Chain A
Amino acid sequence: MFLRMIRGTLFRQWKKMIMIAFTIALGASLASAMLSVMLDVGDKVNQELKTYGANIMVVPKEASVIGDLYELEGEENASAYLKEEDLGKIKTIFWAFNIVDFAPFTNVTGQTADGSEIDIVGSWYSHHMELPTGEQLDAGMESLRSWWELKEGSWLNEQTASQNDNGAMIGVTLAQRLGLGVGDTLHIKGKANELDFKIVGIYDAGGEEDQKLFTYLHNAQALSSLDGRINSIEVSAITTPDNELAELATKNGPSSLTVSQYEKWYCTAYASSICWQIQEAIPDCVASPVRQVADSEGAILEKTQLLMILITILSLIGAALGICNLVTATVMERSQEIGLMKAIGAQNGSISLLVLTEIFITAIIGGVAGFFAGFGFAQIIGHSVFGSAIEFRVMVVPIVAVLVVVVTLIGCIPAIRMLLGLRPTEVLHGK
């Protein structure tokens, strides 16, 4: 009998039930879309902020001290360089997954034909790496210098270049001074060897790099016979904004932390803990966060996330009140029907149960439909804004489910109370 009555309502009043289901679906889709976007916005914005370039610099431990104290000018000192063979180790640290890009730099000087000295920098350009983990990675300058404006020509590319390619990119200021264009050849006399560079591209970096010549790592090393040696590594990593724990670790050193604090710090992607792990992986190096990038990232991420959380809360409240309203309105409408039931002897409990079951069946249908629709909306937002999919988070499912159930229940309560208070004679009389 109970089932038959429910089926009766669902089929006879399908128009009304569809409307409730539709509203609940809208609310649920709003909730799931906003929650998905909110939970993913941190990662997405973090990716975008990578356009500011590296946030961690790795230099040899002895570089500054030896250079400064003993003024060993011109003399080669093995400990003042990092080893090229250690580079792959960066991708083996605990937070390897968070390291999106990195590139080594070898800085040398060379003389042009007219005798003037210029700075030459060797680095990676779309450098392909096969990692021990089986992962593949294309690392290099192109994303670490995303603000470079290419005036002429193209970027260097290791994958298309041959083994002994002498391609180079030249800064716009230097190119003007030397009167060079794309395709021209520049003869450079280094400390050890001489090389003819072929200009592949001219860039405008809007800074001091405009006075430099950028080439492949092996070319710069060959000029000063610095085989396998590099001056610094720039690392672009996705980091968590610093909190008190990270401050503490930076201030007093990780050794001052308690065991549990240390574990928590080590296993969170703070800039300082990633630096620490790089130092563990690469012998004799100092890795430090570039404050200009690392701190600002943290501030912007926090603000964006907070903004999204507040917008999400607003839309959740909106969705909840919307559903509540409609449920109350539709249930109250059925006073006559309920009055009739009461007149022929229905119990208060069974009436409440009947109304609740009907509404919940509708709510579940609407909620499930809405959840998927909302995830679709989230994907639209993800693709059109960030050009990548919004990740599916399991967390969203229970939140949306609880929200739908609670909101529907709250929507039913005033209506049911009113229905129970009905006097059948008055209702049927039409008052």
Chain B
Amino acid sequence: MVVALLSIAIGATILSGLVSIYYDVPRQMGAEFRNYGANVIFTASGDSFTVSDINDAAAIFDSGDIVGTAPFRYENVRINEKPIVAAGTDPEGVKKTSPYWRITGQWLEGSGELLVGANVADTFRLKEGDFIDVYYTPEGSQSADENGERVVVEDNIKSFTVVGILDTGGKEEDYVYMTLADIEELTQADKGRADIAELSVSLSADELADVVDKINAQVSTVHASLVKRVTASEATVLTKLQALVLLVTVVVLALTMICVATTMTAVVAERRKEIGLRKAIGASDTSIIKEFMGESMLLGLFGGILGSVLGFVFAQQVSINVFSSSISFRPLLVPVTVLISMAVTGLSSLMPIRSATYVDPALVLKGE
């Protein structure tokens, strides 16, 4: 009996464990795919938009789905009399939308700090801890007033400490990064303006497209678009991965269930003698079948419950080890596991019990 119970419990464990993993893989893997960075881009539909427009538009997403939001404002500045593109951003947001940024030194944190792209650092021979002045020429300095005389506008100057060197292998290496507050202080114009915002959202491509359409319809200042490179590729790869886990689950389950069935068959066949004895003292076939089936169903019930618990523990362990996050408990899985294990045990014992009842009791008892 212990043997049978153990085998049913193993089957049920594999069933509930693998199904939990299968249902959780898209969510967990989706989170991993956010490593590729932003999958939605906001741009101004008019001339410009502000950080509050971005927040309004981002509010249309379910707040739980947004991994990170990073607004960017680009300005042409000068360092050592050479033009450079400076970007103002929210460092905490970028950390989440672009987890692949590799920084030598410290992350951008507060005012007066500058994150320098690797190419810029090479050109100016900058390293961590260097001090540098950034010049910004306000608009209008090159124009002439109505008398034809040049209007002299002083350059805005701000001193920064280089906190880190940025290495991405992309064009970010040609820019310098500072906080939004710093770039506003440097330009002293257009408070709250942003040129672009990157969002990293953990939703599937179809769901994203729906929300993007909604944003474009509801928020007039923002034009949202999908980063096709990220969304299209993610959809392709994620579909394959889920198909892989599904097929593996099906194969493992099918084989395990057959395994459980053969064990049950063996366990019941062992009791042919008992069946023979009962028949000999006058038990009817139906009563024997009922009794034995009841017994195996009970085994299925206990095995199923035990398996559901063990399966959840297993799935939890996998999730913590692989994705370092816990798995969501699916209450529906418990009755399903129990029902399936009862069905499998029931069906696999039915055959040997029936065949045992056909046998002449005298022969069975004689030991043939």
Contacts and interface: CB of A to CB of B under 8 A. Distances in A.
B262 A22 contact: yes
A221 interface: no
Given A30-B255, A307-B25, A318-B10, A291 B168 contact: yes
Contacts of A204: 228
A333 B29 CA distance: 48
B14 A314 contact: yes
Nearest to B9: A321
B243 to A, nearest CB: 5
Contacts of B174: 64
A52 B229 contact: yes
A11 interface: no
B167 A310 contact: no
B159 to A, nearest CB: 23
Interface in B233-274: 233, 236-237, 240-241, 243-245, 247-248, 251-252, 255-256, 258-260, 262-263, 265-267, 269-270
Contacts of B167: 291
A222 B262 CA distance: 74
Given A48-B237, A307-B318, A326-B262, A30 B123 contact: no
B43 to A, nearest CB: 11
A289 B168 CA distance: 8
A326 B321 CA distance: 32
Interface stretch (A2-10, A378-386, A395-403): A378-386
Interface string A14-56: 0010010011001101100110010001000100110111000
Nearest to B323: A303
B8 to A, nearest CB: 10
Nearest to A38: B248
A26 B255 contact: yes
A132 interface: no
A261 interface: no
Contacts of B322: 303, 306-307, 310
Contact of B6 (A16, A45, A325, A330): A325
B202 interface: no
Interface in A271-329: 288-296, 299-300, 303-304, 306-308, 310-311, 314-315, 317-319, 321-323, 325-326, 328-329
Given A48-B240, A204-B228, A315-B256, A384 B32 contact: no
B108 to A, nearest CB: 17
Contacts of A385: 240, 243-244, 247
Interface in B1-31: 3, 6-7, 10-11, 13-14, 17-18, 21, 25, 29
B37 interface: yes
Contacts of A333: 266, 269-270
Contacts of B262: 19, 22-23, 26, 326
Contact of B100 (A37, A49, A295, A323): A295
14 contacts: A53-B229, A64-B119, A68-B119, A149-B232, A291-B100, A291-B101, A292-B168, A295-B102, A296-B35, A303-B29, A322-B7, A322-B263, A323-B259, A384-B243
Given A289-B169, A303-B32, 12 more contacts: A27-B255, A30-B255, A53-B229, A57-B170, A65-B122, A69-B123, A147-B232, A300-B32, A310-B317, A311-B248, A322-B10, A326-B7
Nearest to A293: B36
Interface in B192-251: 225-233, 236-237, 240-241, 243-245, 247-248, 251
A321 B3 CA distance: 10
A325 B7 contact: yes
Contacts of B317: 310
A37 B229 CA distance: 28
A109 interface: no
A36 to B, nearest CB: 11
Contact of B36 (A37, A296, A314, A325): A296
A88 interface: no
A310 B21 CA distance: 11
B314 interface: yes
A397 to B, nearest CB: 19
Contacts of B36: 52, 292-293, 296
Contact of A49 (B7, B237, B251): B237
Nearest to A57: B169
Chain A interface size range: 35 or more
Contacts of B7: 321-322, 325-326
Chain B interface size range: 35 or more
B251 A381 contact: yes
B61 interface: no
Contacts of A64: 119, 122-123, 174
A148 B232 CA distance: 9
Interface in A67-117: 68-69
A367 B40 CA distance: 52
Contacts of B318: 307, 310-311
Query: Which interface residue of B168, B225, B259, B314 has the most chain A CB atoms within 10 A?
Result: B259
Contacts of A148: 228
A157 interface: no
Nearest to A311: B248
Contacts of A311: 18, 21, 245, 248, 252, 318
Interface in A369-410: 377, 380-381, 384-386
Interface in A119-178: 146-149
A30 B240 contact: no
Interface string B304-319: 0000000000100110
A315 B252 contact: yes
Given A325-B3, A326-B262, A329-B266, A314 B18 contact: yes
Contacts of A290: 168-170
Nearest to A19: B262
B252 A292 contact: no
B33 interface: yes
Contacts of B6: 321, 325
B229 A65 contact: no
A294 B37 CA distance: 12
B37 to A, nearest CB: 6
A27 B259 contact: yes
Nearest to B25: A307
A377 B252 CA distance: 10
B367 interface: yes
Nearest to B124: A68
Query: Which interface residue of A65, A148, A336, A377 has the most chain B CB atoms within 10 A?
Result: A377
Contacts of B236: 48, 51, 146
Contacts of B3: 325, 328-329
